[in-house]
Amino acid sequence: MVPSLLRDPARALIAVGNRTGGELVRLNLGSFRPYLVTHPRHVQHVLRERADNYERAGDGLFWRPVKRLFGEGILGEGQIWSASRKMLQPMFTAKRVEALVDGMAEAIRQAVDELDEPSRHGRTVDIGVEQTRIVCRAIMKVLFGDKISVPDAMRVVDAQDVIATAVIPRIVVPFAPLSLPMPGDRPFRRAKKTVDDVLLPIVRASKATADEGDDVISTLWQARTEDGRQLSEQQVRNDTVAMFAATTETTINVLTWLWPHLDERPDVAERLYDEIAQVVGDGPVRREHLNRLPYTRMVLDELLRLYPIGWIIPRRAVADDVIDGVPIEAGATMVASPLITQRMAAFWDRPDEFDPDRFTPERIRGRHRYAHFPFGGGPHQCLGMYLFYLEAQLILATMLTRYRFRLRRSGVPGLRLAAALRPRTRVELTLTSAAGAA
């Protein structure tokens, strides 16, 4: 198993999952023997029902290398995590996020305007880069109060890209001590410095004016711990860096897969274009359009099934437990993976095929809640789920009311496992005006 893991880790993991048929199995990776949790019932047990017994261990699989960037905070566990969660959660309720839609729609429209120029000249664009620009413009405006300029934000996204890859050796060899130099360490340090060079001065400068803002950084400065203290600069920095990554990397990556799939499935593309044209007309996209775009949402759900960027959700058992007759000992590592479960033949028909019709309301009702869990579940469930759907619908609807596209190279890129799941190759395309493309 180890050689195929190194050659094409994503495919190898999916193959391992399929071989288990949903049974809870123990993987044999030398001295390291994590349990692979694939059955939706077992995933529910670990992430939600017995969440008290399965902690997100900051010194364990996956998180230890990643934590060198984020430190303690919202992506950790225990008291500091729970304090961060309490502070940040109110910013992402349905009501608060809906109040951001108009500002987000406007920022997205302005950022999409900049595609007119390459489209008029038939120039090829790297859609990953363009989406980075669009997402940064929207998110910096509505969540970071325009404290971070778009070019600075793009520098941070680039540094995150470097980090996502630089941590791979340490994810693959999880128990190498941090004192042992590994490939990737140097680019990691350089990229982390870039993140801090951009974000730390902004975090510091925001302290004095924190009372005035409702952006992420001001909210963190305004927060008080249970004993009435302001957070330390380090903790505000940690949660700012974590929230920056969570709000950018995710949406950008998921949407990049859309274009090759639409190219392969003109029938899906037509339905999507039709829905958007009927609801939005010539635009601009407005808040009231969003809950009238059910097919757009189905397309997003299918992208999240095939490309759940949070591809690994590890936990550590606090005390002994038994799952479906399998004894689990205290200290064991449990690995749940949306990427594996969501592509297993035991739970999905034709699992590798892109087919948004899997997400009609009837078919969703017929499935286990944890057959599709791109946002995790239980107490650590993603804070940004609602935001993701609204933002992604706005971006798709805005782009597709204005443009049609042609891929430079057809074919769906392979999967690359990094700290997040990404396409192996860039997606390049040319855009043409949608006017007259009936």
Which residue ranges make up the annotated binding site?
382
Q: At 35, is the secondary structure helix, strand, or coil?
A: strand
Residue closest to ligand HEM (Cβ): 384
Rounded Cα–Cα distance for residues 234 and 232 (Å): 5
Which of 410, 111, 168, 144 has its CA nearest to residue 266?
A: 410
- Please identify which residue in the block is written with the tokens 């390291």: 32
Judged by CB, which is closer to ligand HEM: 22, or 310? 310
134 belongs to the binding site for ligand HEM (CB under 6 A): no
56 belongs to the binding site for ligand HEM (CB under 6 A): yes
CB-based contacts of 389: which residues, under 8 Å, 6+ apart? 297, 300
Judged by CB, which is closer to ligand HEM: 119, or 250? 250
74 belongs to the binding site for ligand HEM (CB under 6 A): yes
Q: How far is the CB of 247 from ligand HEM (least distance, A)?
A: 4
421 belongs to the binding site for ligand HEM (CB under 6 A): no
Q: What single DSSP character describes residue 263? A: H
Degrees to nearest 5, angle at CA 113 with 142 and 111: 25
Q: How far is the CB of 62 from ligand HEM (least distance, A)?
A: 9
Q: How far is the CB of 117 from ligand HEM (least distance, A)?
A: 28
Write out the two tokens for 214: 């409702």
Residues in the interface with ligand HEM (CB under 6 A) total 24
Q: Which of 14, 192, 376, 396 binds ligand HEM (CB under 6 A)?
A: 376
Site for ligand HEM in 312-371 (CB under 6 A): 313
Q: Is 185 exposed, middle or buried (0-12, 13-18, 19+ CB in 10 A)?
A: middle
218 belongs to the binding site for ligand HEM (CB under 6 A): no
Contact track, ligand HEM, 289-308, x by CB under 6 A: ---------------x---x
- Please identify which residue in the block is written with the tokens 């038994």: 322
Q: Which of 388, 394, 399, 422 binds ligand HEM (CB under 6 A)?
A: 388
Q: Which of 11, 68, 85, 416 binds ligand HEM (CB under 6 A)?
A: 85
374 belongs to the binding site for ligand HEM (CB under 6 A): yes
Q: At 413, is the secondary structure helix, strand, or coil?
A: coil
Single-letter code of the amino acid located at 6: L
The secondary structure of the chain in percent helix, strand, coil, rounded to multiples of 5, reads 60, 10, 30
Q: How far is the CB of 262 from ligand HEM (least distance, A)?
A: 18
387 belongs to the binding site for ligand HEM (CB under 6 A): yes
62 belongs to the binding site for ligand HEM (CB under 6 A): no
Q: How far is the CB of 250 from ligand HEM (least distance, A)?
A: 3
137 belongs to the binding site for ligand HEM (CB under 6 A): no
CB-based contacts of 93: which residues, under 8 Å, 6+ apart? 386
Rg from Cα positions in the chain: 22
Judged by CB, which is closer to ligand HEM: 237, or 404? 237
Rounded Cα–Cα distance for residues 270 and 438 (Å): 9
Degrees to nearest 5, angle at CA 363 with 358 and 364: 90
Q: Is 278 exposed, middle or buried (0-12, 13-18, 19+ CB in 10 A)?
A: exposed
Dihedral sign of CA atoms 326, 330, 333, 338 in order: positive
Judged by CB, which is closer to ligand HEM: 54, or 431? 54
Backbone angles phi, psi at 317, to 5 degrees: -70, 130
Distances (CA, A) of 410 to 202, 426, 427, 428: 42, 12, 9, 10
58 belongs to the binding site for ligand HEM (CB under 6 A): no
Judged by CB, which is closer to ligand HEM: 259, or 283? 259
Contact track, ligand HEM, 234-263, x by CB under 6 A: ------------xx--xx--x---------
Q: What single DSSP character describes residue 291? A: G
Site for ligand HEM in 89-108 (CB under 6 A): 92
Please give the annotated binding residues for heme, written as ranges: 382
| Bridge partner list, 405 | 431
383 belongs to the binding site for ligand HEM (CB under 6 A): yes
Judged by CB, which is closer to ligand HEM: 392, or 434? 392
Judged by CB, which is closer to ligand HEM: 119, or 337? 337
Q: What single DSSP character describes residue 426? A: -
Q: At 53, is the secondary structure helix, strand, or coil?
A: helix
Q: Which of 382, 407, 425, 428 binds ligand HEM (CB under 6 A)?
A: 382
Interface residue list for ligand HEM (CB under 6 A): 56, 74-75, 85, 92, 246-247, 250-251, 254, 304, 308-310, 313, 374-376, 380, 382-384, 387-388
